[in-house]
Structure 1
Amino acid sequence: MRITGGKIRGRVLFSPRGMDIRPTTDRVREAIFDILGQDMSGLKVLDLFAGTGIFGIEALSRGAGHAVFIDNSKQALNLIKKNLSLCGFEDSATILKADLKKVFRLNHQMLRAIDLIFLDPPYGKDLIIPLLEWISQTDTLRYGASVIAELSRKEDLPDTISRLKVTDIRLYGDTKIIIYTSGRDNERKDGNLSWDI
């Protein structure tokens, strides 16, 4: 499990052993960052179901200003801390312990005005849509922000959820990546909704 780009490109992180964590493969992660673009200067990133912290750490390597990591596993959070320390990013990170129900109730200052969210819950648990609804109905995202959802190839998601709209879909083996962009719902005079992105 290595960082695929940025100032610590090639750095090998601590991997989960005997833990119920499914890290995104290097190939898929590199492809996602290629889609997003290499320069993440100053962006605020949220890594939900953070596991090893690889997504948020990759974003920090590529110039993100701050990353927030959320997971409900104490083992995962300890692994994230070790990986942040290994990479020298401790001062650019916030780590929060929360399960899904607690995430919905979180009113943490660090969860506002996010530029990029990585959403990688366990496959087949029907967690993504409720999370996308929560994200789209709060002030979590900046206008024009991206949400990256990783799911099983067999799963699907709606094209729009409130102010989130699908802007890209990619398939990598058994993995599907869906990218949403945050816009505004604008009601036209004819009563129909149009998208402003």
Structure 2
Amino acid sequence: MRVIAGDFKGRRLNSLSGDNTRPTSDKIKGSIFNMIGPYFENEVVLDLFSGSGNLAIEAVSRGCKQAYCFDNHFKAVSVIKENIALTKKESAFVVKKMDADKGLHWLSENSVSFDLIFLDPPYAKQKIVDQIEEMIQLNLLCNNARIICETDRQVDLPDSIQQLEKIKEQDYGATKVSIYR
């Protein structure tokens, strides 16, 4: 796993060992960023199920100004921090060891809103629609925010979630990427 483009291009990132995580492959990550970018200018990013920080780091590498990374596993948070240290731009990241639902409330309490949101939950614990509705209710979305959802190919997300519309969907083997705006 490596950073594909931007300021941190080519840096190898660490991932968690074992079967508990499913890091986004470089191929899928490249496709996601080709669909939504590929480069940015000062956007704020949320990586709600950060795992290794892979997507957040790629976003900052490509020009996003701030990324918030949440994970509720101690080892994942350690790996995220190690990977962020490789960027030598630690001030562009906020890392929290926190469950996703509690994280959304923490963000609301701290008046943070986002231009890009990555949702790549463990497939068995996927509550994407509920979490997007919660983000809307908590005013966490900027105007024209995009939400990028990574799910099992068998998962069919709705064409719209409140005011958000699915603008793109693509299968990559066992993985499906859906983008809302």
Q: Give the TM bin, normalised by the shorter chain.
A: over 0.9
* Equivalent residue, structure 2, for 1:68: 68
- Normalised by the size of structure 2, how large is the TM-score? 0.94
Distance 1:104 1:46 in 2: 10
Distance 1:52 1:123 in 2: 16
**Which has the bigger relative contact order, CA under 8 A and spacing at least 6?**
2
Q: Does 1:103 align with 2:92?
A: no
Larger radius of gyration: 1
AA in 1 matched with 2:88:
G
Structure-to-structure mapping, 1:106-185, within 5 angstroms: 106=106, 107-109=108-110, 112-181=112-181
* Equivalent residue, structure 2, for 1:32: 32
Structure-to-structure mapping, 1:43-62, within 5 angstroms: 43-62=43-62
AA in 1 matched with 2:151:
L
Is contact 1:112-1:140 (8 Å) kept?
Answer: yes
Is contact 2:105-2:138 (8 Å) kept?
Answer: no
Which ranges of structure 2 fall in alignment gaps of 5 or more residues? none
Deviations 1:64-109 (A, max 9, x none): 1000001101111111100000111211011112113423432342
* Equivalent residue, structure 2, for 1:191: none
AA in 1 matched with 2:144:
G
Higher helix share: 2
Which ranges of structure 1 fall in alignment gaps of 5 or more residues? 182-197
Moved over 4 A (4+): none
Please identify, of 67-76 and 34-43, the stretch whose mean Cα deviation from structure 2 is larger: 34-43
Is contact 2:101-2:131 (8 Å) kept?
Answer: no
Q: Does 1:85 align with 2:100?
A: no
Distance 2:95 2:35 in 1: 26
AA in 1 matched with 2:134:
W
Question: What is the number of equivalent residue pairs in this alignment?
Answer: 180
AA in 2 matched with 1:23:
P
Distance 1:174 1:22 in 2: 12
